[in-house]
A and B are shown apart, each in its own frame.
Chain A
Amino acid sequence: MIEKILLIASREFRATALTPAFIIGLVFFPLTVVISGVAAGVFSVFGAETEPMRGTIAVLDTSDGQVVADGLELNYHPENQQSLYENAQRSADLAKQRAFGDREIPEFLAPAFERAVFGLLQARPPAEVTIERLAPEVDLEGQKSRVDGGELIALVVASEASVDAGGLTELAAGEAGAGEPSLVPVDERTIEAVSDLGEGEYLLVRRDDMKQLDLDEIRSTIERAVRNKRYERVGIEPLLLRRVNRLPLNDRTTVVAAAGVEEQRNEVLVQLLPVGFAVLLLFSAVLGGNYLLLGTLEEKSSRAMEVMLSCVSTRQLMVGKLIGQGAVGLLMVVVYLSVGILAAWGSGVLQQIPLGMLPWLVLYFLMAYAFLGSIMLAVGSAVTEIREAQALFAPVTASMILPVLMMAPVLQDPDSLLSRVFSHIPPGTPFVMVARLSQPAHEVPIWELVTTTAVGAFGVWVALSAAAKIFRVGVLMYGKPPSLIGLIKMLRYD
């Protein structure tokens, strides 16, 4: 009996896993992720702006202290531009240092790799922009023509209204003031003169073909200047405020464990791991279940099912198929985990991966797969074409969505009552438990491991028993496919 089950399992595994399509898919998925990452870098390098912004920006600024004109002039001062450029270069070097430490990137890879991966961080050459201040009586229409003619990159018109934030001083003094201050660049056509500028508004005239990067930079420069002036007016030192708000990228934390032992922890990794493991589980279980559905459908539509049933019982056939496609899913888990572990080792964060939970991951994969696979088998046995299966997909969809819905509260607080309750609801048990177990700061009590495993196993048993009944009746049923109600009614057949 076991021998026949293993024979079926072996055929199922080989029919799926040893096909070029599967092998390509298996390698292709992680490869696609890597290639996309590298490609994004490569494209960013090719697409990166290597040309500096060049030209003249004319500014008519009637605000008190010519805030906007000063801000633009300061930003595009050659020394400032050089300094910004050097800062950007340092950031790229820092990012590289964080990723690779002191390890050498292989020489043949270095130029392309660095440009690809850190291309986004590469600095744009310093801008060569001159700020031309305009007198208040200047002919604005004439200045606009200069923009049109390409003599100017842009024309900026600002007034005291642009800087005024509406009752900001009163607000700072604790008196009732206006709402949130805003800065709005306005379309030139809506405005006739400087006096028409509303609170927080400024006028920006530019050619249509201005690069988005240049436009963004001019806007952010103006807005930064206006904000700084506002800080100043309410008595806040802008530099001080920036310092107060600045936080380092919090990706390395020293954690003091219960025994007083300190360890370095990558917080980003810690947050990603539970999601990663749960997604891996869901992905493999869904794919394994999908292969089950397609395999069963193929046997039914090619009428090979009855040949099989002349050799083995429906139960043997079902178990054999489950084992075979389960092995396919497990292969995916192993391959992707191995890739992940290798990547973690290569990045020097292997110690952050809770390797002790890998056996649990396998157990929970089997649980998730058996549950989902049972439903897929039942659906596959009851229909003859894939489009007929879609009408019966409600239980499949529910068993996939439920764990996803459960994940968010579990990730927020793995030890909450809600997390514990979700851990004991079978379709979600494997996913929730994997998410809980893969968080190093949280320890799941032994009794919960026992009860959730027992509840999960019971859920699998119920799903398998129901699937076995439907499978036995469904495999030789042809013609009109049953409805969802019809499928449930099959459970009553002897």
Chain B
Amino acid sequence: MPSPAAIELTGVTKRFRDKVAVDGLDLLVPMGSLMGFLGPNGAGKTTTIRMIMSIFMPDEGTVRVLEAGSAAASKDRIGYLPEERGVYRKMRVGQFLMYVGRLKGVGRRELSRRVDAWLERVKLPEVRKKRCEELSKGMQQKIQFIATVLHEPELIILDEPFSGLDPVNMRLLRDLVDDLHREGRTIIFSTHVLEQAERLCDRVVMIDNGQKIVEGTVEEVRASHGPPTLIVEPVMGASALASSVGGLTGVSDLVRAGETGVIEARLREGADEQALMQSAMGLAAMKRVEIRRASLEDVFVDRIGASIAERERLAEELAA
């Protein structure tokens, strides 16, 4: 039995005057999943998220969130970290978190306990009484993340959560997201950092020009790019070995023929990967033999890169 959908978008369209920001988008985020929402700048990610949050209303289509007609009916069950970080500059950190938490329906006493616990968890226990404006940008971002999850929401929506963070804080945040997912919460986040999405997500959706390009589990999306490749790096004589690799059963054609000491061969659909690797090992002494699948970045560049280049060309033409 399929898990119920945390978010279900059907034929959603949003226009701003003449510009179509989101165009007939269908999207299904299963309950308990961790979904990456990927796309270039201006693809329509933030607009989609704002429609999910009932901040914008769609011109066409329907949005169902946590089985309700809209997020307006279930805002207290949703945590949202907007792309544009914002805190009340003059407010003290503790007051800000208490205020947002109370707006999300959490009682004062329980909230106070959670604020302390979360500040401890993000390694900022000393800032509770500081004014928000006294914190660094990275610290403010962590405070905002706490404000997003303080009320223990079932659904967490993070718009570019990793932008502007240093590697240490990026890892901290990634671990927190992973923990929340393991607690059973549904998480959807948009990002440009495809490596993070690949490492964290069990599902991804890529959109461009307001339309869905690809959707599925990470494996499905990577597989959608085509069959994997066999990478062979012999100890010596790579060029001489290229034809032998090209002749192995299951190999379709050669991508690189050993000029740089590495042979790369595209596999046929349904090729036996284990048998191929063994056959390759038997050809000569090897430094490396591996099967490589397309990364999300490969898929992104392949499916959306051309569109970005076209947009940039058009923008340049317009500017000229």
Contact = CB atoms under 8 A, between A and B. Distances in A.
**Do A and B share a complex?**
yes
Interface of A: 4, 7-8, 11, 15, 298-299, 302-313, 476, 494
Given A303-B82, A306-B82, A311 B89 contact: no
Contacts of B53: 309-310
Contacts of B89: 298, 302
B55 A476 contact: yes
Contacts of A302: 86-89
A448 B91 CA distance: 47
Contacts of B88: 15, 298-299, 302, 304
A7 to B, nearest CB: 6
Nearest to B82: A306
Interface in B27-85: 50, 53-57, 59, 72, 75, 78-80, 82, 84-85
Given A298-B89, A307-B86, A311-B103, 16 more contacts: A7-B99, A7-B103, A299-B88, A302-B88, A303-B82, A304-B86, A305-B86, A307-B80, A307-B147, A308-B103, A310-B55, A310-B80, A310-B82, A311-B100, A311-B104, A476-B55
B90 interface: yes
B209 interface: no
A494 B75 CA distance: 21
Contacts of A15: 88, 90-91
Nearest to A305: B86
B268 interface: no
Contact of B100 (A299, A307, A476): A307
Interface of B: 50, 53-57, 59, 72, 75, 78-80, 82, 84-91, 99-100, 102-104, 144, 147
6 contacts: A7-B99, A7-B102, A303-B85, A306-B82, A307-B80, A310-B79
A445 to B, nearest CB: 46
Contacts of B78: 310
B14 to A, nearest CB: 11
Contacts of B54: 313
B257 to A, nearest CB: 52
Contact of A313 (B59, B72, B84, B86): B72
Most buried by B among A303, A306, A309, A476: A306
Contacts of B75: 310-312
A304 B85 CA distance: 7
B133 to A, nearest CB: 9
Nearest to B99: A11
A302 to B, nearest CB: 5
B55 A306 contact: yes
A304 B87 contact: yes
Q: 4 nearest interchain CB pairs? A: A303-B86, A310-B80, A304-B86, A311-B103
Nearest to A307: B86
A350 B100 CA distance: 47
Contacts of A310: 53, 55, 75, 78-80, 82
B238 to A, nearest CB: 54
Contacts of A299: 86, 88
A311 B84 CA distance: 15
Q: Which applies to chain A's interface (DSSP): helix, strand, loop or mixed?
A: helix
Contacts of A476: 50, 55-56
A480 B160 CA distance: 24
A299 to B, nearest CB: 8
Contacts of A7: 99, 102-103
Contact of B144 (A307, A309, A312, A494): A307
B141 to A, nearest CB: 12
B318 to A, nearest CB: 18
Nearest to A3: B105
Nearest to B78: A310
Given A313-B54, A476-B55, A4 B103 contact: yes
A246 to B, nearest CB: 62
Nearest to A14: B95
A310 B145 CA distance: 13
Contacts of B72: 313
B143 to A, nearest CB: 11
Nearest to B157: A310
Nearest to B84: A303
B128 to A, nearest CB: 18
Quick one: which of B54, B55, B90, B144 has the most chain A CB within 10 A? B55
B135 to A, nearest CB: 13
Interface hub of A15, A298, A307, A313 (most chain B Cβ within 10 A): A307
A4 B85 CA distance: 22
B262 to A, nearest CB: 48
Nearest to A8: B103
A310 B75 CA distance: 7
A307 B87 CA distance: 8
Contacts of A305: 86
A301 to B, nearest CB: 9
A155 B206 CA distance: 101
B148 to A, nearest CB: 8
Nearest to A475: B55
Contacts of B147: 307
A492 B91 CA distance: 36
A292 to B, nearest CB: 16
B100 to A, nearest CB: 6
Contacts of B57: 494
Contact of A309 (B55, B79, B90): B55
Contacts of A494: 57, 59
A492 to B, nearest CB: 11
B52 to A, nearest CB: 11
Given A312-B75, A313-B54, A476-B50, A306 B86 contact: yes
B118 to A, nearest CB: 16
